[in-house]
Structure 1
Amino acid sequence: MNCILICMLCGLYGVLAKDKEQRGKYRVPKLDVKSRQLVLDANQPLQLSCRGRWEITWVFPSGLARDQVQVEESRCGRTKQLYCSNMMVSRSQAQHTGLFRCQYKHRTQKQTSVYVYVTDSQQLFVEHPGMSPGVLYLKENQPLVIPCRATNPNVTATLVKFLSLSLSPDQRNIIWDSKQGFIIRSPTFYYIGLFYCQTITDGVTHKSRNYFVHRPVSNIMEVRLNSSGPVQALKGERLVLNCTATGELNTRVNITWDYPGKSNNIGSISKRLVKHPTHMLFYSILTIPKLQRSDRGRYTCRVASGEKSKHQTVTVTVYDRPFIRLKPRHGLVMEVQAGQKSYQISPKLKAFPAPEVIWLKDGVVAAEQCSRYHIDGNSLVIRDVAEEDAGKYTVLVRIKEHGLYQNLTLTLAVNVSPQIGEKAASLQDPGSVPRGSRRTLHCTSHGVPPPHIQWLWHRCPPKGLPAAPRA
């Protein structure tokens, strides 16, 4: 009995150990080729097999169309627990040169690959010269790769700049790799322009596709909206916001809008580009044909170029109808001191659309009555306040196109410091008067409000002593 149990445990251990070994073996799928690259002649068939623990998928070079490949899938292994996939290209072509990858369908990071060269004496570069120029971007602090890959691992090429000299690889800054092309580790402005690769075999010059190297500029100098402050509009009116971005020459920007009705596709956007000798102007115009209350809120224009971005925001308020709201700020009666440098009469006014404002003083247009009166926004400013500025001031507010009118009358009191008239006049000393006689003294005073007059009598002091006042 013990012997049977021991045999069973040994068998189970063997199965578990074998299963663990299989799991480790197929952590990534396995190709049926040992080397990391293959070299085929043009028109030869290419066949690759891959197996693994899970379902398998293939990634092919860009020059190989999917309909040019036959793929057969099956379950394999002793217990049929593995997945196998065989792919076949019946007639390989030079443009099929590249990396063939076998990977797990749902674990794409688990993969294995082989690089396949398809040699053709008539086509030494994968991308032939008849193709339209490829556009490459020169980026700061990044290597530049000119992808003129070769169809033969033994090809050595030179890099040619159009209408300029050819550059040979130095394996320091200019590196040739038949699988990638030319790698420029530290590219300068010299590498902006039109390039191609070439090689000479048996006296015959072979050229690659042309590549245009462009240096993208992402300097956004300024972003502005056609409205610098909050926007107010009536329900049903048309809203037009113009966002203008200024960038350096060769800059390309992407302009987007964020606004309340964006999710409902409310509004239309038109774009325009204007090139100037020193800069570029990009326009994006957002139009909402009929505003609703739901269109109230923040409207943001976002401008992005490469890793740089800027934005401008404006708040839009939508009113149901035109209105005027007018009331005093500090009561109906105001006080000011004569001689004050300036005084501003400023009621609380809120209206839309912008109203016409007229100020009257005692029924006459204020600005026509005195040059010291002038309008500042909705307020009346009085310069060098004088006593004659006291009176009734009426502000007339009207929105003619909507038939709205409102007025408010305020009273201004001007306080004047009291003054004694006789003090200003040059009077002679009355001198001595006979004892027992009558003498009349006058005191004339003016002020606002009217001043109170009080007389004080100063007894003549004995010789050598000051006099004490008496009422």
Structure 2
Amino acid sequence: MIGTLLLLILCGMLGCTLGKDKESKGKFSTPVLDVSEQQLVLEANQTLRLKCRGRWELLWALPSGVTKENQTLRVDESRCGKRETQHCSTLVLSHAKARHTGSFRCRYRHKQQKQAAVYVYVRDSQRPFVRVQKESPELMFLKEGEPLIFPCKVTWPDAVVSLIKWQAPIQTLIPDQKNIIWNSRQGFIIRSPSIVHTGLFSCEIKVNGVKHLQHYITHRPVNEILEVYLNSTRPVQTLQGGRLALNCTVTAPLNSRVTISWSYPGTANITKRIMPGKSQIMFYSILSISHLRKSDRGAYTCHVRNGPVHRETNTTVIVYDEPFLRLKHRQGSVLHASAGQKYYRLTPKLRAFPPAEVIWLKDGMVAAEKCSRYHAEGSSLVIRDVAEEDAGVYTVLTGIQQFGLYRNITYSLVVNVRPQIGEKAVSVQDPGTVQRGSRQALRCTTYGVPPPKIQWFWHPCPPKRNTPAPLA
């Protein structure tokens, strides 16, 4: 009895499952259009009317040339069927244009993979191509392992279109439906393009004796980056409210498809430029900020990508609240140098923004004008071939005139001179033999900085040795 009950319960469960599967795979499991053809051909300015029916709520996917804001487009939703359990949607497109050519698809809102579609051609003898030709040829890139598609789709299915390659010798590529395929809904498809498919191409069609063309330039991308640099790789210092302009320049071979992007802390304007040359292309990306704020402080990185190749360069932007000038001694105010040194550098601690003007004085006179051996390098003063006369008082004057900021400090430079004995430089006669017990005066004249100390030492003469008598 219990077994029979369990069997009935299981059968009931299986029956429900089978019922649900049958329902999901039954009528209207996919929306249904009121047209049986896979394609429709309308004349320009005719009205397109499509009705779609389904079990659940519906929506339409339209060709790119048809926008929902189009005033000639209307979509009416309603419930339909004997018991109004079904959903119906009617699409009406009045005054159809060539640009409306494409696939019209009716989908379930919650199951968009379930759809019914019809391709609609809107024939227009004045506009045989769906897409409008731009002023310059459309740029297309050959990618390894991918087909090359010239998107010159047309507004009627039996249009006769030619694909022309303009590089000498000019030739018309004939579709063989193997490597070169013509499809009125896509255009010309080259399944396995090679280097011979680079250059200027055109899709051509003649209507009533009038020739219509769409031009394309194809390039084979080169994945190489030759050089990347910023106009400022050192930290950029500026004041709040000032302007910033960073230029990222990239050099790459011809046929390169370089993309440049930035990462930065605040907000900025980006402008781009390309300058082709004979053998290379220069890509420019300029980041600019017209009014800097504290939030703009930080790292600015230029990212460059050419296919799989990636490079980057960066700099740091420092934004100061206000100008400043700080000046102090680095190793005290009294300095020592030695006569004969090849060079000696006086370097104070200077921090300023904007950069300060620096002037060095020697004993109250401009140092560079006083001696040709004095040379200013940044905030330092370099003395070449140091001599005794370089000793004195040095003053460094700094100032930012624009903001009325001035600072100065003074150094005392002592030039040490090696001790010298004057008598060593003068030829002195040997005093010879002097009488025992007599009084003699010896003089030692010295000079040096600081003054040298003098010490006398007596070195007694070595005793005479007895000379052995000669042998007889």
TM-score range normalised by the length of the shorter chain = 0.7 to 0.9
Write the distance in 2 (CA, Å) between the matches of 1:41 and 1:327.
Answer: 87
Could you say which residue in structure 1 is the equivalent of 2:30?
29
Write the distance in 2 (CA, Å) between the matches of 1:70 and 1:433.
Answer: 139
- Structure 1 residues 85, 334: CA separation in 2 closer, same or farther (over 3 Å shift)? same
Write the distance in 2 (CA, Å) between the matches of 1:311 and 1:24.
Answer: 58
Out of 145, 149, 170, the residue aligned to residue 176 of structure 2 is 170
Counterpart contact for 2:153–2:184, Cα < 8 Å: yes
In the TM superposition, 1:66-215 aligns within 5 A as 67=72, 72-74=77-79, 80=85, 98-108=102-112, 110-116=113-119, 128=128, 132-133=132-133, 136-141=138-143, 142-149=146-153, 157-161=161-165, 164-184=170-190, 185-186=192-193, 188=195, 192-193=199-200, 195-198=202-205, 210-215=213-218
Aligned to 2:383, the other structure's residue is in SS state strand
1:24 shift after superposition: 6.3
Could you say which residue in structure 2 is the equivalent of 1:461?
462
- Structure 1 residues 382, 315: CA separation in 2 closer, same or farther (over 3 Å shift)? same
1:50 shift after superposition: 5.1
- Structure 1 residues 418, 270: CA separation in 2 closer, same or farther (over 3 Å shift)? same
Pair 1:382 & 2:388 matched: no
Counterpart contact for 1:42–1:93, Cα < 8 Å: no
Write the distance in 2 (CA, Å) between the matches of 1:272 and 1:260.
Answer: 20
Write the distance in 1 (CA, Å) between the matches of 2:88 and 2:139.
Answer: 41
Q: Which runs of 5+ in 1 are unaligned?
A: 466-471
Write the distance in 2 (CA, Å) between the matches of 1:183 and 1:4.
Answer: 65
Counterpart contact for 2:49–2:90, Cα < 8 Å: no
Pair 1:239 & 2:243 matched: yes
Could you say which residue in structure 2 is the equivalent of 1:55?
57
Counterpart contact for 1:155–1:178, Cα < 8 Å: yes
Counterpart contact for 1:191–1:213, Cα < 8 Å: no
1:224 shift after superposition: 6.6
- Structure 1 residues 427, 40: CA separation in 2 closer, same or farther (over 3 Å shift)? same
AA at the equivalent of 1:59 = A
Pair 1:355 & 2:362 matched: no
1:155 shift after superposition: 6.4
Write the distance in 2 (CA, Å) between the matches of 1:417 and 1:285.
Answer: 60
Counterpart contact for 1:324–1:406, Cα < 8 Å: yes
- Structure 1 residues 306, 104: CA separation in 2 closer, same or farther (over 3 Å shift)? farther
Aligned to 2:38, the other structure's residue is in SS state strand
AA at the equivalent of 2:377 = D
TM-score (norm 2): 0.72
- Structure 1 residues 404, 369: CA separation in 2 closer, same or farther (over 3 Å shift)? same
In the TM superposition, 1:316-395 aligns within 5 A as 316-320=318-322, 322-395=323-396
Counterpart contact for 2:163–2:202, Cα < 8 Å: yes
1:150 shift after superposition: 5.5
- Structure 1 residues 393, 115: CA separation in 2 closer, same or farther (over 3 Å shift)? same
- Structure 1 residues 431, 115: CA separation in 2 closer, same or farther (over 3 Å shift)? farther
- Structure 1 residues 199, 28: CA separation in 2 closer, same or farther (over 3 Å shift)? farther
Aligned to 1:432, the other structure's residue is in SS state coil
Counterpart contact for 1:146–1:211, Cα < 8 Å: no
Counterpart contact for 1:221–1:247, Cα < 8 Å: yes
Q: Deviations over 1:156-184 (max 9, x none)?
A: 64323579432211334322234322112
Write the distance in 2 (CA, Å) between the matches of 1:96 and 1:371.
Answer: 83
Aligned to 2:410, the other structure's residue is in SS state strand
AA at the equivalent of 1:99 = S
**Aligned residues: percent identity?**
39
Could you say which residue in structure 1 is the equivalent of 2:470?
none
1:417 shift after superposition: 2.0
Q: Deviations over 1:93-138 (max 9, x none)?
A: 9876543433332453x23444536597x86x9x615974156431
Counterpart contact for 1:161–1:195, Cα < 8 Å: yes
Q: Deviations over 1:226-257 (max 9, x none)?
A: 66654545556x43536475778999998887
Could you say which residue in structure 1 is the equivalent of 2:414?
413
Q: Deviations over 1:163-210 (max 9, x none)?
A: 94322113343222343221123154755435124489xxx8796x53
AA at the equivalent of 1:182 = F
Pair 1:429 & 2:436 matched: no
Aligned length: 445
- Structure 1 residues 389, 111: CA separation in 2 closer, same or farther (over 3 Å shift)? same
